[in-house]
Amino acid sequence: MTTRLVVHAHRTHASRLVMQILNYFVLGVLGAVFLIPVYLLVVTSLKSNSAVSLTTMWSLPNSFGLSGLSQAWQQVAPDMLNSVYLAVSATIVSAGIGSLNGYALSKWTFRGSNVIYFFILLGMFIPYQITLIPLLRVLDAIHLFNTIPGLALVHIVYGIPIMTLIFRNFFAEIPTDLVEAAQIDGTGYWGVYRHIILPLSIPGFVVAGIWEFTQVWNDFLFGVTVTEPPHQPVTVAIVNIAGSQHIQWNVLMSSTLIASLPTLIIYLILGRYFVRGLLAGSVKG
C-alpha cells in the first residue's frame, strides 16, 4: 500500500496539474449551463417591449428598457404582497410551534415519544394531493376558503413536521448537563426553555425560518387549489400570466424574476443556513 503511494507520488506532480485544469474546465462548463436560466431571465427582463423578439432572445439587450419590469411589477405587486403576508406569518407560527415540539422531543422524551415523532414526521412526506378534497371542505366550513389566512393555516399545519425535525435535531446538540444543572437549581420545564434553550436557539431559528419561508413562498399546489385571484400567491400568478393568450416575453420573464427574487436573495446572503435546512430535511441528524 505505502510503496504504491510512493511510486505514484513521482508521477503525480505534472498530471495533477492537468487534472486540476480539467476539473476547473468541467465545473466551469457545467456552471455556465446552470446559469443559463438566470441569464435569460435577467437579459429578457431588461429588454424594452420593442426590443423583445424571439429570434434574438439570447443576445444582450441593445436598448435597455425597464418597461418589462415596470409592467410586470404593476401586474404582480398585489400577488407579491399576498406571498409576503403568507410566507412571513406561516413561517413565524410554524417555527414557533416547531421549536416547542423540538424541545419536548429532544429534552423530555417519554415512553412513546418516538412513536409521536414518527407520526409527526410522516406528515411531511405524504403527497398533498391526498389532503386536497377534505381540505377544501374544511376551509369552506370555517370560512377560510380563498383567503390568505386560510392558505397560511394550511402552510402552518404542513410545516409543523419539518420545523419539529429541524429544532429537535438542533436541540439534541445542546448538552443535557445544562438542562440538568438548571433543574437542580429548581428551574421547571418552561424556565429551562426560556432561559437555556431559547437563548441558544437563534441559529436554529435562522435555519428553520429560511427553510420554511422558502417552502411557503415557492408553494404552488396549495395556492392553486385553495385560492383564486386576487387572493393568489405570486407563484400562481406567474403561471397564470404564462398561460394567457398574448404573452409579452419581457413581462413574463420580469414577473418570474420578481417572483423568484426574495428567495434568491435570501439564498445568496444566507446560503449556508439554507443548505443546513436542506440537509436536515433528509431526516438524518
Partner 1 sequence: MSVLPETDQTISSPPTQAIRHRRRLSPNKVWSLVTLTPSIILLAVFVYYFIFWTGYVSFSNWNSFIQNMSWNGFNNYIAVFQSFRFQSDLRNMVFFTVGYMVGCLVLGMLLALLIDQKIKGEGILRSVFLYPMAISAAATGVIWNWILNPTTGLNLILKALGVHHLPQWYLSTAIVPNFNIGYIQGGLPLALVAVLIASLWQWTGFAMALYLAGLRAIPEEIKEAARIDGAGAFRTFWSVILPHLRPITTTAVVMLMAASLKVFDLIYAMTGPGSNFVTDLPALNMFDTTFQGNEFAQGAAIATVLLILVLIFIIPYLIYTIRREAA
CB of 257 to partner 1, least distance (A): 9
CA–CA separation, 201 and 20 (whole Å): 41
CB of 121 to partner 1, least distance (A): 6
Residue 184 vs 202, nearer CB to partner 1: 184
CB of 207 to partner 1, least distance (A): 14
**Which residues make Cβ contacts (< 8 Å) with residue 204, sequence separation at least 6?**
99, 102, 166, 167, 170, 171
Residue 66 vs 121, nearer CB to partner 1: 121
CB of 78 to partner 1, least distance (A): 17
C-alpha cell at 69: 419590469
**Burial classification of residue 218, based on how many CB atoms lie within 10 Å of its CB (0-12 exposed, 13-18 middle, 19 or more buried):** middle
Residue 230 vs 285, nearer CB to partner 1: 285
Residue 37 vs 229, nearer CB to partner 1: 37
Residue 134 vs 199, nearer CB to partner 1: 134
Task: Find out whether the peptide bond into 233 is cis, omega within 30 degrees of 0.
Answer: no
CB of 66 to partner 1, least distance (A): 20
User: Which of 166, 157, 185, 158 lies closest to 105 in space, CA to CA?
Assistant: 166
DSSP-derived letter for residue 127 is -
CA–CA separation, 96 and 193 (whole Å): 12
Residue 30 vs 77, nearer CB to partner 1: 30
CB of 129 to partner 1, least distance (A): 4
Do residues 148 and 78 make contact, with C-beta atoms less than 8 angstroms apart? no
Q: 198-202 — which CB contacts under 8 Å span 24+ positions?
A: 198/99, 200/174, 201/99, 201/167, 201/170, 201/171
